[in-house]
Chain A
Amino acid sequence: MLELDRIGKSFAGVAALEGVSCEIPAGAISGLIGANGAGKSTLIKVLTGYYSGYQGEVRLDGRPLPLTRPSDAKAQGIHVVHQEVDTSIVPDLSVAENLLLDDIVAGRVTTRDVLRSRRIRQQAREVMAPVGLDLDPGARAGDLGLHSKQLLVIARALNQNLRYLILDEPTASLSLKEVDQLFTVVEDLRHQGTGIVFVSHKLPEVMRLCDQALVLRDGELAGIFARPFEPEALVAAILGMPLEQEFPARVERPRSAEPVLLVEGIEVGTAVKDVSFSAHAGEVLAITGLVGAGKTELLRAIYGLERPSGGKVAFLGKPLRIHHPRQAISRGIFLVPEERRSQGLFIDYSGGWNLAFPSLTSLAPSGFVSARRERALSRRLAGNLGVKGPLDEPVAVLSGGNQQKVAIGKWLARTPKALLMDEPTRGVDIGARLDIYNQIRDLSSDAAVVVATSDIDEALGIADRIIVMFGGRVMAELGHREATRGDVMRLAVGAA
C-alpha cells in the first residue's frame, strides 16, 4: 500500500497541492480525477520523484520513501505512463532496444547482446507478451501508434519491478477497441497485485474501471469515493458544486435555407470516401465516429490542408477550390484544430498575442500593430469566452480548458461564417466544457458550426444533426430527436 500523508507542493508561494492524504492500495485501481489545474499532474510528479522537494511524506507499506529523483520512484517500482508517451520512448531505437532500455543502461544487457540481434529479439518478445503486444522487435519505436507505445512503456515497466503504475490520461486519443485492450491489460495487472492510479477526464471510464476514485480540487483532496459510484457526486466534488447541466439547453432557431457548406462526394486518399453533407447557419452539425474514421481528414480537406482526390465543396452556393488555409480564412471559414498545443496555439507566446493573431490585418491596417487596440481586442475575446488566467504570460501556463478557449476565441473577432472544430473539448474539464458548448451554440445562430468529435455523448448533447462516419464513409445522418446513443454507437463501429 502506498500512503500519502499530507502531501503539499508550492510554486513561488502558491500552493499547487496542499494536505493531500490518501491511500493507494496494491491490487486495486484508484481513479485520480479533477479539473484541469486541480493538482493531478503535480501529485503524479511527486509520486514519480520529479521534484527534489515537497511537503509531507509518502510511505510504502509503512516505510517512508525518499522520492527526490525519478530513479528513487523507479527503484521502488513506481512507474508512470505519461499522457505524452513519446517522452518515454527513444524514437530512433528499435522496439526491442526500447523495451530493454533500462537493462541496457544498467549493463544487464551488454553491447554484445544488442549486436546479437536474435537473442535480444527473443528477449523483447518475452517482455511484450504479458501486455498482449506482438510487434516486430526490429521496428523503429517512433513509427508505432500511440496505443502500442503505451503498451510498450507498460511492458518495459513490467520487465523491471512494477508495483505501482500511474496512467496519465491514457485513453485521450485511443479508439474504443484500443481502450478495451488497454483496460484488459490494466485489469490483469490489478489481478497480479499491481497498484494502479488511473488519471482521466472521462468519468464513464473511471466508473467502469476503478475501485476507488480520488477527487482533487484546487490542490486539495475534495473526496474519496468507493464503488458504486454516483456520477453526480463525483461531478459535484470535481466542480465544488453540483452541475446543473452538462450541455446547454436547446433553443429552436431558424436554419438558413441555403447551406453555408455543401459537400458532395468528397474523397481524400483512402481516409475519406464519398462523403456528402450540408451545413447550415442556425444549427450545429456533429460529425462523430471512432478515432481514424476520417473526421479530421474531412475537415482538413475543406480547410485547404489536404487536397481532395474527388468530389466538390460549395461555400454559399459558389464552388470552393482552395489549397491553403488563408483562402478559407478570407472567406470566413475557420478551423479549430485537433491538437491545440501543436496546431492551435503559439505556446511560447501570451494568451493576448494568440488571441490577436488572426486579427492582425484589422489591428494593423497600416502595418503597425496598435498595442492599445490589441489589448482591447484580446480582453474582449477572453471575456466573451471566460478565459481565466493571465493574458500576458505564455499561453502554456493556462489550464487545458483555458488554452482551448484561446484557440477558439482567436477566431471570434472575425465573425465566422463556417467554423470547423476538431475535438473541441479534448482534455478539457467539465466546467470549461460547458463554456465551450455555450459558445458553440451562440455561434451557430449566425454561422455553420461543424464539430468533429469521437465522444458520442458530446455529439448527442450539442448537435442539431449528427453524421456518423465509419472507415471514411458516412454511415447515417440523424436528427437530434431520432438519434439514440445505441444507434450512434452501433453505426460508429460499422454495424448498419
Chain B
Amino acid sequence: MHDAGDVPRPGTAPRKRGLALGTLLVKYGVLGILLLLIVFLAIAAPAFLTFANWRYLLQDMSVATLVALGVTISVVVNGFDVSVGANAGLVVVVTIMSMVFWQLPTALVVLLAVATGLLVGLVNSGLVVRLRLPDLLATLAMLFVLDGGQQILAGGQTISQNMTLANGELAPGKIHAAFLAISRGSFLDVPNPVWIMVAIALALWLFLEKTRWGRILYAVGSNPEAARLAGASVGWYRTVAYLASGVLAALGGLLLSSRLGIGTQLAGDSYMLSGVAATMIGFAVLGVGRANALGTVVGALMMAVISNGFTMLNVPYYTQQTIFGVLTLVALGLSFVVRKR
C-alpha cells in the first residue's frame, strides 16, 4: 500500500541521537541547577553536607512537600487547588483543639485531620466539578473561608496546653506524647516525617505514572472531551483529584501540628505559594512538561536547600526569596525557552 502522504513532519523525524545541548538542558536543567547549588553550599558552608543537617533539612521540607503534592494532583486534572495551605492551617487548629478542648485520643485526632481534609476536598470538588465554578476562584474563596473559619473556631487565639479559658479555668486536655511523636520521633535515625513524606510521594508517583487510574487522571487533564469519549467518567476522576488534594494538604497540616504542638492561627498559609512553586518547577524536571510527583518533590527540595543552606551563610530570608525566584526563572527558562526552539 503506498502512502506518500505520510511523510513525517519537520522536527519530528530523523532526530539526531545523542546528547544535544538543548535536549540536555530541557531534561536536566532543573536537576543541574539543584546539583550546582548543593555543590556550592557544600563548599561555602562545611556544615551543609552533613547527615545531621540533611536530617533537619528533609524534615523541614516534609510539610511543604505534602501540601505541594496536593496542588500537583489538582493540576494533573487541569484544575488548581490553592486552598491547600489554609486547609493545612485548619487541620493544625482542629487537631490541637481536639486534644486540648475535646480530649480526643491520638487515633481519633489523626482520623479527624484526614476527615477535615476530605471535607475540604469534597466542598472544593462540589464547587469546581458539580457547580463548574472556575477552579482558581472557587479554591481561592475556599482559602478565605478556611482561614477565617479556623480563627472563628479558635476564637482568634493560639490554642495551647494549659491555656486559660474565658471562664478562668485551665483547658482540660493535654497534647499527647504519641501525637507529638508523629513529627518528633524518628526511625533508624531518620525523622518520621521524612519516612512519611517519602512513602506518600513514592505512592503518589507510582499511582500517577504507573497505574491506569493515574493515566486516566492525566487524560482527563489533557482533554476531558476525548477522555469522556473514550469512556472515562471525567467528573468522578476530577472529584477524586480534589479529594486527594484535600487529604494530602491535611496530612501536611497533621505533620505541622505535631511539630508545633500548639494551635497557631494561619500556620499553613505560607505553604500554598511554595506548593504552587514546587509544582510548577516540577513541570520542568526531566523535561516532562506536566505536573508530576517526582518533579514536585525536586521543586520542594530546591526550596528547602536554598532556605537551609543560605541561612547557614547568614543570608537574610528576603535575599533567599530573591535567590529562589531567580533560580526558578533560570530553571524554567532553560526548560521552556529551549523547548520552544
Q: What size tier do the contact residues of chain A reach? A: 35 or more
A369 CB to nearest B CB, Å? 6
Residue in contact with A337 in the complex, picked from B8, B9, B229, CB distance below 8 Å:
B229
B residues in contact with A461, CB < 8 Å: none
Segment of B10-18, B40-48, B98-106, B147-155 engaged in the interface with chain A: B10-18
Within A220-255, the residues touching B (CB, 8 Å) are 238-241
CA distance in complex: A163, B13 (Å):
36
- Tell whether, in the assembled complex, residue A240 and residue B3 are in contact, meaning their CB atoms are under 8 Å apart: no
CA distance A215 to B226 in the complex (A): 34
Chain B residues near A347 (CB-CB < 8 A): 222-223
Identify which of B12, B215, B219, B226 contacts A390 (C-beta below 8 A): B12
The stretch of B117-125, B205-213, B296-304 that contacts the partner chain:
B205-213
Q: Which of B281-297 contact A (CB under 8 A)?
A: 289-290
In-complex Cβ contact of A36 among B6, B213, B218 (8 A): B6
Choose, from A118-126, A172-180, A360-368, the stretch at the interface: A360-368
Question: Is A77 an interface position by the 8 A CB rule?
Answer: no
> Once the chains bind, are B6 and A37 in contact (CB under 8 Å)?
yes
Q: Nearest chain A CB to B240's CB is how many angstroms away?
A: 14
Query: Per a CB cutoff under 8 Å, which of A240, A337, A363 touches B4?
Result: A240
- Chain B, residue nearest A366 (CB): B211
Knowing A13-B16, A368-B210, A390-B13 are in contact, say whether A344-B8 is a contact too (CB < 8 A): no
Quick one: which of B12, B212, B227 contacts A389, CB cutoff 8 A?
B12
Q: Contact between B9 and A239 (Cβ–Cβ < 8 Å)?
A: no
Stretch at the interface among B230-238, B244-252, B255-263, B266-274: B230-238
Q: What is the total number of residues of chain B having a CB less than 8 Å from a CB of chain A? A: 38
Inside 8 A of A38's CB, which chain B residues have their CB?
A: 5, 7
How distant is A347 from chain B, measured CB to nearest CB, in Å?
7
Q: Answer yes or no: B130 CB below 8 A from chain A CBs.
A: no
Q: Which of B1, B8, B225 has the most CB of A within 10 A?
A: B8
Chain A's nearest CB lies how many Å from the CB of B13? 6
Least distance between A325 CB and chain B CB atoms (Å): 5
Is A360 within 8 A of B215, CB to CB? yes
- Nearest CB in chain A: distance from B228 CB, A: 6
Cβ of B37 < 8 Å from any Cβ of A? Answer: no
A325 touches B228 (CB 8 A): yes
In the bound complex, do residue B7 and residue A431 qualify as a contact, i.e. CB atoms below 8 Å apart?
no
For the complex, give the distance between the alpha carbons of A367 and B215 in Å. Answer: 10
Measured in the bound complex, the distance between the Cα atoms of B219 and A349 in whole Å is 9
Residue from the list B5, B8, B223, B225 in contact with A429, Cβ < 8 A: B5
Q: Is B204 an interface residue (CB 8 A)?
A: no
Contact in complex: B226, A324 (CB < 8 Å): no
How far is the CB of B290 from the nearest CB of chain A, in Å? 8
Q: Is A202 an interface residue (CB 8 A)?
A: no
Check B212 against A360 for contact (C-beta < 8 Å). yes
Given the known interface contacts A238-B4, A386-B3, A390-B13, the answer about A346 and B231 at a Cβ–Cβ threshold of 8 Å is no
CB < 8 Å neighbour of B212 from A325, A348, A363: A363
B225 neighbours in A (Cβ, 8 Å): 342-343
Neighbouring A residues of B228 by C-beta, 8 Å: 305, 324-325
In the complex, are the beta carbons of B12 and A397 less than 8 A apart? yes
Cβ-defined contact, B210 with A241, below 8 A: no
- State the CA gap A283–B230 with chains docked (Å): 24
Q: Which residues of A contact B8 (CB under 8 A)?
A: 37, 388-390, 397-399
Nearest-CB distance from A241 to chain B (Å)? 6
Task: Decide if B4 touches A431 in the complex (CB within 8 Å).
Answer: yes
Interface hits, B5-43 → A, CB 8 Å: 5-16
A401 and B5 contacting across the interface, CB-CB below 8 Å: yes
A97 at the interface (CB under 8 A from B): no
Q: Are B211 and A368 interface neighbours, CB within 8 A?
A: yes
On whether the beta carbons of B10 and A11 are closer than 8 Å, the reply is yes
Give residues of chain B (185-232) contacting chain A, Cβ–Cβ below 8 Å. Answer: 206, 210-213, 215-216, 218-219, 222-223, 225-232
A431 and B2 contact, Cβ closer than 8 Å, known pairs A14-B11, A345-B226, A346-B219: yes
Question: Which of A79-87, A98-106, A271-279, A432-440 binds B?
Answer: A432-440
Residue of A nearest to B13 (CB): A14
User: A376-399: which residues lie under 8 A (CB-CB) from chain B?
Assistant: 386, 388-390, 393, 397-399
Assuming the A-B contacts A37-B7, A37-B8, A344-B229, are A438 and B1 also in contact, with contact meaning beta carbons closer than 8 angstroms in the complex?
A: yes
> Which one, B11, B227, B232, contacts A397 given CB within 8 A?
B11
Query: Chain A's nearest CB lies how many Å from the CB of B282?
Result: 16
Name the B residues within 8 Å of A348 (CB-CB). Answer: 222, 289-290
Q: Compute how far the CA of A390 lies from the CA of B17 in the bound complex, rounded to whole angstroms.
A: 14
Contacts of B211 in A (CB 8 A): 364, 367-369
Report B130-169 residues with CB < 8 Å from chain A CB. Answer: none
- Closest beta carbon of chain A to B230's beta carbon, Å: 5
Nearest CB of B to A66, in Å: 22
Pick from A329, A346, A435: contact of B1, CB under 8 Å = A435
Complex: A388 Cα to B225 Cα, angstroms: 26
Q: Which 5 A-B pairs have the closest CB atoms?
A: A35-B5, A11-B10, A429-B5, A16-B10, A360-B212
Interface residues of B (CB under 8 A from A): 1-16, 206, 210-213, 215-216, 218-219, 222-223, 225-233, 289-290
29 A-B pairs with C-beta separation under 8 A: A11-B10, A12-B10, A13-B14, A13-B16, A14-B14, A219-B7, A239-B2, A240-B2, A241-B4, A305-B228, A324-B231, A325-B228, A326-B231, A326-B232, A330-B231, A343-B226, A344-B226, A345-B223, A346-B223, A346-B226, A347-B222, A361-B212, A363-B212, A364-B211, A367-B211, A367-B213, A369-B212, A390-B13, A397-B8
A sample of 19 more A-B contacts (CB under 8 A), given A12-B15, A324-B233, is: A16-B10, A35-B4, A37-B7, A239-B2, A324-B231, A325-B229, A328-B231, A329-B231, A335-B229, A369-B212, A386-B1, A389-B9, A389-B13, A390-B8, A401-B6, A402-B6, A429-B6, A435-B1, A438-B1
Which A residues lie at the B interface, using CB under 8 A?
A: 9-16, 35-38, 42, 217-219, 238-241, 303, 305, 324-326, 328-330, 335, 337, 342-349, 357-358, 360-361, 363-364, 367-369, 386, 388-390, 393, 397-399, 401-402, 410, 429-432, 434-435, 438
